[in-house]
A and B are shown apart, each in its own frame.
Chain A
Amino acid sequence: MADKQTKIRTKTQGNDTDVLVLVSHPMESGLRPDPKDKDKKVPAHFIEKMIFALNGKEVANADLGPAVSTDPLVGIKLKGAKAGDKLKVTWSDNKGESGSGEATIG
Chain B
Amino acid sequence: MLLRGLNPPRSFSVMKRKRSLAIELQSGVKPGPPQSFALRANTLRGKKPPQSKPSLGLGFRLALAEELLAAKRTRVRFVEVAPENYLGVGGRRRRLLDEARERWPVVCHGLCGDLAGAQPLDWDFIQQLKTFLRQTGVAWYSDHLCYTSTPRAHTHDLIPLPFCHRTVRQTAVRIRHVREMLDIPMAVENVSATMRAVPHEMSEPEFISAVAREADCQLLLDVNNIYVNACNFGFDPKRFIDRLPLERVVQIHIAGHDRRRPNLLIDDHGSPIAPPVYDLLRYALRRLPQRPPVLLERDNNIPPLPQLEEELDRLNEICREVYAHDDTGRSDTQRQATVDHARSTPSAAICR
Q: Do A and B interact with each other, yes or no?
A: no
